[in-house]
């Protein structure tokens, strides 16, 4: 079998690219037209030798390979499209196995298809891969199987995963620029201390008077970086692993996440993104036929922030005891009063999932607005940090010179 690359147009007129194994280009053409696609270009893919297998390294590298979020999203999107076209689950999984090229996702699809062929439910087959398919996904598929509405549920899962990916991209994008800027400032400071300060060191040592505090501070940092760099590296490694260990504990994660929520600017952004995620997940599960209690449990288990997860768990306990969702949310300041009112209206009108979806859209838009204005909000903080650094460096350089000039007067 030869691997071919092709470009085609689907039933909706959207162009796409993919790869497939076949004995000839004619077979690829026939396979695409049978699926309702219009082939545009078909070419044989050149196979370069896999040096990891040649050197025997593939067994060691295999544990590091994983199924990415994009593959999971494409899996459910394409599965939803095949279901909508009336293709059975087994045939859909067979078709998806041929479409995906990455070894890991293909192995997963083959195992799921084997389990389904052996009589297992689709949700049961997915549940065997907890590191790939979340509890939310498995629960929604199980609800769709019970209600006989797999088509709609798969569409909702695909839509949710796409929205989830967009939220993560927004959050990563929001943190990327400030992190790069602060990193550049740190590198510039290290360069100044290790490369510029030593040139003034000989001049400073000739002074008969006591050096000013900023100068002694810079010379002390230079001494530490020059003679004790190995100790600094060890301390950084210890701090990193201590942080990882503390964050792995429930109390540590709660305290660190609480600190993140209290951070200026970023705390507000994290809160909005987390709330958008919470309302999106809960709305998707309720509309799929999952009870509020089960939905809250799954949402709490998949929440990114421990403080919000703890609030969701307590809300679930109150709902179990008979308190309404809106009244339970009212007791936690992390949920704005507008979201509480929308949940209350949804409960009274019987359209809770729609109100929760509107709340998700609202917080999604709020997160977009915060990200768009992030640099405007961060400018005062960054200017303050830069100003402090420049002030210490300038005083450390020029104060001794001014003192020296005063000695000659």
Q: Are residues 206 and 345 in the same domain?
A: yes
Q: Are residues 168 and 43 in the same domain?
A: no
Q: Which structural domain range is residue 341 located in?
A: 163-227+263-409
pLDDT per position as a tens digit, 20-72: 777 766 677 677 777 777 665 666 665 544 444 444 444 444 444 467 777 88
* DSSP code of residue 121: -
Last residue of a domain, one of 33, 48, 63: 48
pLDDT per position as a tens digit, 119-171: 888 888 888 888 888 777 888 888 878 777 787 888 888 887 887 787 777 77
Q: Are residues 170 and 311 in the same domain?
A: yes
Q: How far is CA 245 from CA 3, 232, 237, in A?
A: 46, 20, 12
Note whether residue 6 is domain-resident.
Answer: yes
Last residue of a domain, one of 11, 27, 48: 48
Exposure of 81 by Cβ count < 10 A (0-12 exposed, 13-18 middle, 19+ buried)? middle
Closest CA to 280 of 262, 268, 265, 298: 298
SS3 123: helix
CATH number of residue 194's parent domain: 1.20.81.30
Contact 276, 363 (CB under 8 A): yes
**6 DSSP β-pair partners:** 18, 42
Q: Are residues 27 and 167 in the same domain?
A: no
The tally of domains found in the chain comes to 2
Note whether residue 245 is domain-resident.
Answer: no
* DSSP code of residue 263: S
Contact 158, 73 (CB under 8 A): yes
Model confidence, pTM: 0.64
- Give the least confident one: 62-71, 166-175, 311-320, 386-395: 62-71
Q: Which long-range contacts (CB under 8 A, 24 or more apart) does 331-339 make?
A: 334/261, 334/271, 334/275, 334/307, 334/308, 335/275, 335/311, 336/275, 338/362, 339/275, 339/279, 339/363
Contact 5, 19 (CB under 8 A): yes
Note whether residue 314 is domain-resident.
Answer: yes
């Amino acid at each position: 079998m030869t691997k071919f690359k092709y470009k085609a147009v689907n039933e909706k007129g959207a162009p796409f690219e993919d790869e497939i194994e076949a004995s000839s280009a004619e077979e690829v053409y026939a396979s695409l037209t049978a699926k309702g696609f219009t082939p545009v270009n078909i070419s044989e893919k050149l196979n370069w030798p896999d040096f990891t297998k040649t050197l025997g390294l593939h067994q060691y590298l295999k544990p590091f390979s994983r199924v990415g979020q994009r593959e999971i999203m494409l899996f459910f999107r394409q599965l939803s499209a095949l279901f909508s076209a009336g293709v059975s689950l087994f045939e859909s999984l067979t078709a998806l196995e041929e479409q995906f090229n990455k070894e890991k996702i293909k192995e997963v699809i083959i195992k799921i298809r084997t389990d389904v062929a052996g009589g297992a439910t689709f949700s049961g087959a997915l549940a065997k891969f907890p590191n790939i398919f979340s509890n939310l996904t498995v629960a929604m598929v199980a609800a769709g199987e019970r209600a006989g509405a797999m088509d709609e549920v798969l569409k909702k899962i695909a839509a949710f995963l796409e929205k989830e990916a967009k939220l993560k991209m927004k959050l990563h994008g929001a943190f990327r620029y400030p992190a790069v800027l602060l990193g550049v400032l740190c590198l510039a400071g290290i360069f100044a201390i290790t490369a510029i300060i030593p040139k003034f060191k000989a001049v400073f040592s000739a002074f008969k008077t006591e050096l000013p505090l900023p100068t002694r501070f810079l010379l002390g940092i230079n001494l530490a970086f020059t003679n004790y760099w190995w100790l600094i590296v060890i301390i950084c490694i210890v701090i990193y692993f201590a942080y990882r260990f503390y964050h792995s504990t429930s109390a540590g994660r709660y305290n660190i996440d609480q600190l993140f929520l209290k951070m200026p600017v970023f705390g507000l952004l994290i809160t909005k993104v987390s709330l958008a995620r919470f309302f999106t997940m809960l709305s998707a599960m309720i509309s799929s036929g999952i009870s509020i209690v089960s939905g809250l449990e799954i949402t709490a288990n998949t929440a990114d922030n421990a403080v919000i997860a703890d609030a969701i768990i307590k809300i679930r306990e109150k709902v179990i005891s008979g308190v309404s969702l809106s009244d339970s949310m009212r007791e936690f300041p992390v949920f704005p009063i507008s979201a509480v009112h929308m949940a209350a209206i949804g409960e009274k009108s019987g359209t809770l999932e729609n109100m929760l979806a509107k709340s998700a859209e609202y917080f999604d838009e709020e997160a977009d607005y915060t990200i768009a204005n992030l640099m405007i909000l961060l400018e005062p903080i960054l200017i303050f940090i830069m100003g402090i650094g420049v002030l210490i460096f300038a005083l450390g350089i020029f104060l001794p010179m001014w003192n020296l000039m005063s000695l000659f007067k």
